[in-house]
Structure 1
Amino acid sequence: MSPDAQTGDSPAPELTHFRDGLPRMVDVTGKAPTARSATAEGWVRLPPDARAALEAGTNPKGDPLTVARLAGLAGSKRTADLVTLCHPIPVTGADVQVTLEPAGVRVQATVRTTAPTGVEMEALTAVTVAALNVYDMLKAASKAIEITGVRLLAKSGGKSGDYHARPGQPGPSPDQG
């Protein structure tokens, strides 16, 4: 008699990225490529010294927002190198916005593909890499910079369908930035 039959518990769900206790990459060979898109965001909270350097344009390394935008675009294309079981997919379009707002620096990335698997990890990687570059560019002004609120905002395409994050959760409030 199986342990499930003895306890009455339902069987454990099949793990997609593990088989026989070992990690594996899911085989998507038989899946048809479809148009997919994902948008993610993250925030970089700036202490007053870092914000002042950014606003005054006195940062000795140059413009953190432009560097972060380029880094996010590059990061979206390198996701499979960084996320262990992520499939390398063709990034057919990417847009990374890095803006200074009252709550801090907002990073938003939208990544598109036509592939047999999703593009959420590419959008999240773009945001994270861009945020890390804001930190790197401003760390001389303050080491107390914080990266926060990295999350998926929306995705479309694929078997799981569309997803939209609940509104009203936009990252740090202005008094935190």
Structure 2
Amino acid sequence: MKKVQMVEIREKPVVYRSAIASGEIFLKEKTIKAIKNNKIKKGDVLTTAQIAAINAVKNTPSIIPLCHPIQITGVDLDFEIKKDKIKVNVKVTSEGKTGVEMEALTGVSAALLTIWDMVKSVEKDEKGQYPTTKISNIKVVEKRKEKK
């Protein structure tokens, strides 16, 4: 059996770090309109997705087993609403010894999954399936490290 371990970061310097991740969820046009007009039965989709993203960022080490617990100094989140999709961008900042790209990716993923959960009743077809709903393009857009 192969050994699994966390990377030792004791010798690394504390520096300012940031990462931006993004991802998209493709939805029906009528679903996008319902989100914009706050007509989704479960409530305010984007506010709930924002809270889910922040919570996921703060809890990344509990979700991703080998991530170090780190001091998060900020989380910025925005949504780009298009005709057939919503793009989520999450920026995470920290002063620490390891990067924050996993936190940004986890935040994006949680936001997108929350959107799907909140709109699934209007996205389903007559058979209860999701033929057009899709999460894609989750990626790290930028990772920065600045020495003091």
- Map 1:41-120 onto structure 2 (within 5 A): 41-120=22-101
Indicate whether 1:34 and 2:8 are aligned: no
| Partner SS for 1:22 | coil
Q: Relative contact order: is structure 1 or structure 2 higher (C-alpha 8 Å, sep ≥ 6)?
A: 2
% same residue: 34
Tell me, yes or no, if structure 1 residue 157 matches structure 2 residue 145. Answer: yes
Give the TM-score of the pair, scaled to structure 2: 0.87
TM-score w.r.t. the length of structure 1 is 0.74
Deviations 1:37-81 (A, max 9, x none): 000100010024423432443211111111101111111111111
Tell whether the 8 Å contact from 1:42 to 1:150 is kept in structure 2 after alignment.
Answer: yes
Distance 1:73 1:120 in 2: 14
Given that 1:75 and 1:129 are in contact with CA atoms closer than 8 Å, whether structure 2 keeps it comes out as yes
Please state how far the C-alpha of 1:158 moved relative to its aligned partner: 7.0
Question: Does residue 147 of structure 1 match 2:135?
Answer: yes
Question: Aligned-residue CA RMSD in angstroms?
Answer: 1.8
Q: Where in structure 1 do 4 or more consecutive aligned residues deviate above 4 Å? A: none
Aligned residue-pair number: 140
Larger Rg: 1
Question: What 5-or-longer segments of structure 2 have no aligned partner?
Answer: 125-129
